[in-house]
Structure 1
């Protein structure tokens, strides 16, 4: 798959200098694993790791100045909402990153282009590539233009991930301790599918599945929230 970099630049407002970095950023592990050994392809996991660290720093900086009356604990919780899977996936969707990612056949057939966990990782990988390509200030400008203007109280409430919502609910009602358990793993190492269950004091609240442990746990939390609110 050839990435349309003109379209990427148009959507992001970023002029790309080192295209190889961004080819890697838009390459999912499923695509890399399907290539022959003689055509070794680098996936975006290392860039995702770097992008996560850059986001943590710049989101922390933004919140520090944007909300001067917030305590340390409030700032930490707010940052977690901004850098959580639902919010990062929403940023990636707005920029249409799903159209550009290079996927393996299996991931393509199972809706990988719209999978929240994949899109969130993709956004972090893009941030990592932009940091290496043009430095911290360019990433800061990108976030201030396309991401930070959206962050307000209403947006933060909408973007609280299911695990955080469930944790807050359990704490409010003093119901006990939540525990997530991975109960099944299927598929080869590069194409795993996980099933998770969430328990409250050994009572099962919900079950979910996904392409990563994190996604499976989020799905389990979502199921638990639906059951809890219907009681």
Structure 2
């Protein structure tokens, strides 16, 4: 049985229509984009088997549309950048952290349709839920109006706020400012954006006298097997005069390896 939205819910659903600059021909797409799985689990458990009852399918589509638009826009804005730089910029823009900030900027939190438990636990402020909602809204825009409204939303709210930091990070006189120059941050954002988890840095060697030590660090990611849930695999290894320097170098090599391997 389909539950009719309350008046309060309907008012919330209409609010972002003008904010996004798009009038939905199918308002139910926007409603679905703002519906978290927790609502169905509490109000209509029988609908949990229905993949169209919440926004998870839309997240999947929105992620793909977002990645494509970000890639085409970065190519147009930074035609002189190499693949590695473009990949790091894209990872920064599509990261959970950044998308959560986008959701806060456009006021998606109060508009989300959450289960009572999730709402009481602060779900409207959780970066993961907010980021997923942004991707779902992108998909709703795409399905309702085609690529152009989705592209306009992505460029205005997702990409443009990041441009000053990206341009500063690409400045050759400012190599290590921002996520693009910070290889550890860039690697973390890339792994999160591609669903590969968190990097782990392991000190594998320490040599030399106290005044001239050398540190060797290996960066690893979780690669579980059925009988080895904590199994990890090494991505890269590097040396430095400090642990932080070695970690940065290892992250840089790992990112180069991942982008060449095409793990997107």
TM-score (norm 1): 0.69
Distance of aligned partners of 1:42 and 1:124 in 2 relative to their CA distance in 1, 3 Å threshold:
same
Distance of aligned partners of 1:49 and 1:200 in 2 relative to their CA distance in 1, 3 Å threshold:
closer
Matched ranges for 1:97-112 at <5 A? 97-112=108-123
SS of the residue corresponding to residue 70 of structure 1 reads coil
Aligned partner of 2:19 in structure 1 is 11
Aligned partner of 1:152 in structure 2 is 163
Distance, in Å, in 2 between the alignment partners of 1:110 and 1:161 is 30
Distance of aligned partners of 1:15 and 1:174 in 2 relative to their CA distance in 1, 3 Å threshold:
farther
Match among 57, 65, 89 for residue 78 of structure 1: 89
Match among 77, 94, 98 for residue 87 of structure 1: 98
Aligned partner of 2:188 in structure 1 is 163
Aligned partner of 2:253 in structure 1 is none
Aligned residues: 189
Distance, in Å, in 1 between the alignment partners of 2:140 and 2:21 is 15
Distance, in Å, in 2 between the alignment partners of 1:170 and 1:62 is 36
Distance, in Å, in 2 between the alignment partners of 1:71 and 1:36 is 49
SS of the residue corresponding to residue 50 of structure 1 reads helix
Match among 61, 68, 77 for residue 66 of structure 1: 77
Larger Rg: 2
Matched ranges for 1:108-119 at <5 A? 108-119=119-130
Aligned partner of 1:177 in structure 2 is 219
TM-score (norm 2): 0.61
Contact 1:176 1:200 (8 Å CA) reproduced? no
Question: Could you say which structure has the greater relative contact order, defined with CA pairs below 8 angstroms and 6 or more residues apart?
Answer: 1
Q: Give the Å deviation of 1:162.
A: 8.5
Contact 1:86 1:161 (8 Å CA) reproduced? no
Aligned partner of 1:192 in structure 2 is none
Q: Give the Å deviation of 1:38.
A: 6.2
Contact 1:175 1:200 (8 Å CA) reproduced? no
